[in-house]
Structure 1
Amino acid sequence: MPAPEEDLALLVRAAEAAGPIALSFWRAAPKAWDKPDDAGPVTEADLAVNDALQRMLTGARPDYGWLSEESEADASRLDARHCFIIDPIDGTRAFIAGQQGFAHSLAVAEGDRITAAVVHLPAMELTFTAFADGPALLNGRPIRPTECGMTGARVLTYKSAVEPEHWKNGRTPPIRREFRPSLAWRLCLVAEGRFDAALSVRSVWEWDIAAGSLIAQRAGALATDRHGQPMRFNSPRAMVDGMIVAGPRLHGEMRAGMV
């Protein structure tokens, strides 16, 4: 079986190949439509990137399972020792709007844990990488999270996550809420210390957080579900029960303050 470092090299090559495909549609009025069941928008670029990634990755690792936001569900992935977990374009709304904050999120799971990860933002020329037991890097340079506590922390999340009902004693925490369109990018922004935490009180899709969770962990942050439990991947539902991603001190304070 390939080592995590070899899988990471494959993911980097695939992400770098996906970037020009996405950029050929970006700011060029790509065809877009809404998925069924209010699952959000999708564009022809999402599908083109997905097809290219699937050909490249499964061509190189035919025995690996495949889980992607833009592919039909394939239950055979649950029996595979390794599985690719892919979001071809994370932040599709930003992509449609011509904004730079969209990403290719690529990960490999061995069993239920992530062992190699890339989050690539082609319009910004940013590439975050990590592999099991290796460093977290941004464009080849080591990154690390902040060491702050709750008061004044800059937290990437949506508005309802800081409503009083999610916090003990009905008290909204003393944080500064901010937002970025790509969930994968949010985790990487925490990993590099540009923000202090990323939070979701709702369940999140595995393809949105698989790569970013390993990058955050290898940088030195804690990345757990909303209850403080380890994230598990390649699950039947392909979802994680919320998330808290932050440096150890802030992670502990956030978990202690949540209902």
Structure 2
Amino acid sequence: MSYLNPETAKKLVPIGELARQKFSASDWQAIGFRTGLPHRITNGRLLQSLRYGDDDYAGNCISVIGDLVSDDPANLKIIEDYIDHTYGVGGPSISTAPGLGQSIRFTPSVFRVPDAPQDPRLIAVMMPFGPAFDGVYEAIRRACANTDHFHAQRADDLWDDSTVIQDVFSLIFRSHAVICDYSGKNPNVFYEAGIAHTLGKTVIPIAQSHGDVPSDVIHHRYQSYHPNTQGLGDLEARLTHRLSGLVTQRSPWAQRP
């Protein structure tokens, strides 16, 4: 094994340990062909020590991974991508649609990632609570029902956790898209919209006034509405149209394990 820079070398130990725990002979062969170095897999004791459960198998895993990366540092990403795709080490994609750019992996420090699966029919609703917004929520629920695909839910429909914000995060995490009502400049809604944007959800903003939409997100198109009977009827119709356009984004690929 030739010289590896310290940052790269640090990554090899957990990769080698995961390979020891999970890889079969076919996994190793796939890695060999993907990197264009199948002889690194078949030569030496790697597959033999795997087959017989020899004590030196763990060391062989790290050694072979190191040789592959030493031969070509680009092989590190090939190996990481294979592991993520095959074993879901990076976690499932929870964004509304597959991204075309770089993906990121992170672990929340304030929230707990829920065990519940993604719900491709769920539209999370983030809005102020209170009687003044009950009619708005009903219009949103009707719009979801009109699509014959989606159903709406907001945090006060839940009580799964002892903290409200965990229920909010779980709702956004599981959802396909998020409707955010900025009316009244409610700081909770802005915080929740930021969570949704970070998780890659499609965010559909609505607001009763242009002045309710903060400058950081004013460049995103939003649906204005009046909180009267006619205004809520118009909101329902426009949201129905917008949500119907999301049905085609309910791709199983985007939610692969």
Mark yes or no: TM-score above 0.5.
Answer: no
Shorter chain as normaliser: what TM range?
Answer: under 0.3
**TM-score with structure 1 setting the length:** 0.26
TM-score by length of 2: 0.26
Higher helix share: 2
